[in-house]
Structure 1
């Protein structure tokens, strides 16, 4: 029996590894699309992978539920305070909790604020950048990776962060 289980595992291992690589690449593509869509001020593209029932905590600690609130909030941000800002994102970790759940943590930099649009109460460095830690939980829904939890926190002044590349 043990030999049979080992044989089955060895036969499935390449397929499992290939699937893990495919899932990793799919999530990395979503993270890259977040950067591109943010930098284009494109709320529909930015919200594209947000689950219908996902949760969202923004850099001020405000909590929202559902795709519509996530989308609406980003429409407001891209037309207002974050209009024409630039997002950079560095992946800190990507970890799978199973075949259908993954956690991605990124360090983000947001820059190019207009002088009148710097967010109140959020630390901005001497170059006018906000640094955040963004934790996103992804879950497969109907075969597609979707964001089910999006928790973004602004880093406090004095928190050491590497310069973006």
Structure 2
């Protein structure tokens, strides 16, 4: 007997696919990813570039809020050490995980909102989202390697102030 599935049911399944892996089987992974983000925020708040970049893979890449590309963990760490010593020295960040999606069992896309205060300056072309507050949206692509989540790529975008 052949069964015909209504088009609306197929559409509903398509909308559920991106979150289909976010079931109970990924509860531990989601907890680990949230912990990784929290540890990274703590490292930022200490101005510790080595700890901030510890979960990037050696060949990872990172695009910062002005669109500059940094390739490899060493370059990402150098750039963050420079900003921790200058415009972002003493700054504090609060990071909120907005969404985690598992397109495959060992791959995660982690979207976060960063709220940065206490900075003494901003890169050219960047302005505070609100007085004293720079809000950014970060998207990480992460892979579970040898049982540990690692960052393959990060892309940070500043949130423009309301017109």
The TM-score with structure 2 as length reference comes to 0.81
| 1:114-150 CA-partner distances (Å, limit 9, x unpaired) | 3xx2333112144211111100011012221000010
State the superposition RMSD in angstroms. 1.7
Q: Which segments of 5 or more consecutive residues in structure 2 lack a partner in the other structure?
A: 1-22
Q: Is 1:41 the counterpart of 2:47 in the alignment?
A: yes
Q: Is 1:106 the counterpart of 2:139 in the alignment?
A: no
Q: Is 1:81 the counterpart of 2:87 in the alignment?
A: yes
Q: Is 1:143 the counterpart of 2:157 in the alignment?
A: no
In 2 relative to 1, CA 76–20 (structure 1 residues): closer, same or farther, beyond 3 Å?
A: same
Which segment drifts farther, 120-129 or 58-67?
120-129
Aligned to 2:104, what secondary structure does the other structure show? coil
User: 4+ residue stretches of structure 1 with deviation over 4 A?
Assistant: none
Q: Which residue of 1 aligns with 2:157?
A: 153
Match of 1:129 among 130, 133, 139: 133
Q: Which residue of 2 aligns with 1:5?
A: none
Question: 2:113 and 2:73 mapped to 1: Cα distance?
Answer: 23
Question: 1:73 and 1:149 mapped to 2: Cα distance?
Answer: 15
Match of 1:59 among 42, 62, 65: 65
- State the Cα distance separating 1:18 from its structure 2 match: 5.8
Q: Which residue of 1 aligns with 2:18?
A: none
- State the Cα distance separating 1:76 from its structure 2 match: 0.8
- Preserved contact between residue 60 and residue 72 of structure 2 (Cα < 8 Å): yes
Match of 1:32 among 35, 38, 43: 38
- State the Cα distance separating 1:156 from its structure 2 match: 1.7
Question: 1:99 and 1:119 mapped to 2: Cα distance?
Answer: 37
Question: 2:72 and 2:130 mapped to 1: Cα distance?
Answer: 35
Q: Is 1:119 the counterpart of 2:123 in the alignment?
A: yes
